[in-house]
Amino acid sequence: MSAPAPAPASLMPTRIAWLAASSWILYDLANTIYAAVVTYVFAPYVKTTFGNDSMVGIATTVSMIASGLMVPVMASLCDRTGQARLYLGVFTLACVGAMFGMAAFASSAVVLIAMYAVANIAYQNALTFYNALLPSVAPPERTGLISGLGVGIGYFGTIVTIAVALGLAAYGFGYRGVTAVSAALFLILSVPCLVFVRELRVTERQASSWSLAREQWTSIGKTLREIRQDRTLLLFFVGSFFLIDVLNTAILFFGSLTEGLFQHLADEGRLTLIVNFSNVGNFAKVLGLVLCFLAFVFGSLIGWLGDRYHPLRCLRASGWCLLLAFFGAMLSGGRSPWLYALSMCVLGAIGLAGIWTAGRQLLIVLAPADQVGEYSGLYGITNKLSVIGSTTFALVADWSRTNVGESLGVTPAIALALSQRDALACQMVQLVLGVVLLYGIRVEDVQARSAK
């Protein structure tokens, strides 16, 4: 069966279609609400209620592997069926439904973690179809701008979630209320993308079927063999694996990391950043607000720089910034709230926003026009299977808190801070590997590919 024809140039956007592009950008804000709930509400709740990080880390690993196995075939199918928007809607509704389940079953560890796993699988699958719709809302030379605006505006989803959490807390609402309201906001803000963004890449659409799904496995196998022989693509995918692994871990554990590092200062009344914080959770949320605001600024800027100077250069620089942010956090965590804030909220914001923005932009440059969905799916494997960090961070943190703390004879709060620094140090190894691999790619090679 022959592949469907890509859309003729007359149907593809030659300028930014702002209604569709704005709706696409707004979805980035919507789905970031889910990520923010996991980081600032769910993970700290599980840690406080059930006493460890490992439950979240292992559930994340399992769900990411499951979504990694699903995404390539489904993304390849959207190249053949032209139904990226339909699949995006299905997985968005599944994620929102599971979030409501996370609120309803908060007292049962098993059901709560199961609901989280379902939500995470749906969220990760939805991201692939969302990325595949980018070429339908902007011409190739402007995808960096739109991608950067999406990443930047997306971080306002975290600001919205933290504001909701702080606002509801003032009226006595806790984990359940914040999670349920956030799920409703995710659903409402995703509607414009599901209504106004149309798939333009595929004109001769095929009906979804099991036979077509089986055919896609063969197609994906062929593509994977081609990637192994393509040095540029291989380095990009493997380098992205390590970078996004660390990025996912940073997003997942930022709240609990910050709380763990500075709990002892809060207990001693010495946690001061302009004002004194007696509640370390509020300190972590304030830093999250600053981080996300700066990520919005840097995401938009890096998207523009990627269009102007090249996304590969921006991706390398973003990796270095995240590495320096982690190094600064290790030195200042538990000691200097100001230096920690500068490291994680400035350099960290550049790293977080830049890796997403430049990586997504570089993928569009490298992928053949009629295989954007399939390549988004393969890129999704690097996103979904980059779960080494979330597991190692949790296991190292739990082990260090028990064993190192006891051997040194320090207080539980100090042992907690030391365990967070140990866990953070493990992430730096993978981050260095990712950045180094990107230097094996030449800008000239990428430019030659995009000119074909």
DSSP string, 429-448: HHHHHHHHHHTTS-HHHHHH
**Close Cβ partners of 291 (under 8 Å, ≥ 6 residues apart):** 155, 158, 254, 344, 345, 348, 349, 352
Percent of the chain topping pLDDT 90: 11
Backbone angles phi, psi at 272, to 5 degrees: -125, 125
Over 80: is that where the pLDDT of 241 sits?
A: yes
Q: Compute the distance between CA of residue 130 and CA of residue 118 in angstroms, rounded to an integer.
A: 18
Mean pLDDT of 103-109: 86
**67-93 per-position pLDDT tens digit:** 777 766 666 666 666 677 888 999 999
Average pLDDT, rounded, for the chain: 77
CATH of domain 18-196+211-451: 1.20.1250.20
Q: Which of 146-155, 211-220, 234-243 has the lowest mean pLDDT?
A: 211-220
**Residue 253, Cα to own-chain centre: how many angstroms?**
12
Q: Which residues have a Cβ under 8 Å from the Cβ of 183 and sit 6 or more positions away?
A: 96, 99, 100, 103
Q: Does residue 95 carry a pLDDT above 90?
A: yes
CB atoms within 10 A of CB 46: 24
Residue 62 pLDDT level (bands cut at 50, 70, 90)? confident
Per-residue pLDDT tens for 326-349?
A: 998 888 877 888 898 898 889 988
Four-CA torsion 106, 112, 113, 116, nearest 10 degrees: -100
Residue 202 has pLDDT above 60, yes or no: no
Crossing angle between the packed helical segments 231-267 and 372-384, to the nearest 10 degrees = 40
Question: Do residues 227 and 234 touch, judged by C-beta distance below 8 A?
Answer: yes
Local confidence band at 1 (pLDDT 50, 70, 90 cut-offs): very low
Structure tokens at 342: 């500068």
Q: Which two tokens stand for residue 120?
A: 């995470």
- Cβ(68)–Cβ(123) below 8 Å: no
- Crossing angle of helices 388-408 and 54-81, in 10° steps, is 170
Cα angle at 251 between 401 and 268, to 5 degrees?
Answer: 45
Neighbours of 174 (CB within 10 A): 13
Find how far residue 373's CA is from the centre of its chain: 18
Q: Distances from the Cα of 213 to the Cαs of 75, 80, 87, 220, in angstroms?
A: 10, 10, 14, 11
Q: Are strands 275-276 and 272-273 parallel, antiparallel or unpaired?
A: antiparallel
CA pair distance 278, 141, nearest whole angstrom: 49
pLDDT tens column, 134-144: 877 777 666 66
Query: In 3D, which of 118, 151, 203 has the Cα closest to residue 31?
Result: 151
User: What pLDDT sits at residue 445?
Assistant: 60
Q: How many residues does the chain have?
A: 452
Strand residues in 123-268 grouped as ranges (E): none
Domain chopping of the chain, boundaries? 18-196+211-451
Per-residue pLDDT at 9 exceeds 50:
no
Instruction: Average the pLDDT over 203-207 and give the result.
Output: 52
Pairwise CA distance, residues 273 & 271, whole Å: 7
Which of 400, 118, 155 has the alpha carbon at shortest distance from 257? 400
User: Is the C-alpha dihedral spanning 186, 188, 194, 196 positive or negative?
Assistant: negative
At residue 275, φ and ψ (nearest 5 deg) are -120, 165
What are the φ/ψ torsions at residue 230 (nearest 5 degrees)?
-110, 105
Q: What angle do CA 193, 162, 148 make, to 5 degrees?
A: 45
- Among 312, 291, 301, 308, CA closest to 360: 312
Cα 400 to Cα 422: distance, rounded to the nearest angstrom: 7
Q: Which of 155-159, 238-242, 269-273 has the highest mean pLDDT?
A: 238-242
Six-digit token string for 185: 């906001």
Q: pLDDT band at residue 419, thresholds of 50, 70 and 90?
A: confident
Query: What is the predicted pLDDT for the residue at 297?
Result: 79
Q: For position 449, what pLDDT does the model report?
A: 56
How far is the C-alpha of 64 from the C-alpha of 123, rounded, in Å?
Answer: 10
Residue bearing tokens 């593809």: 12
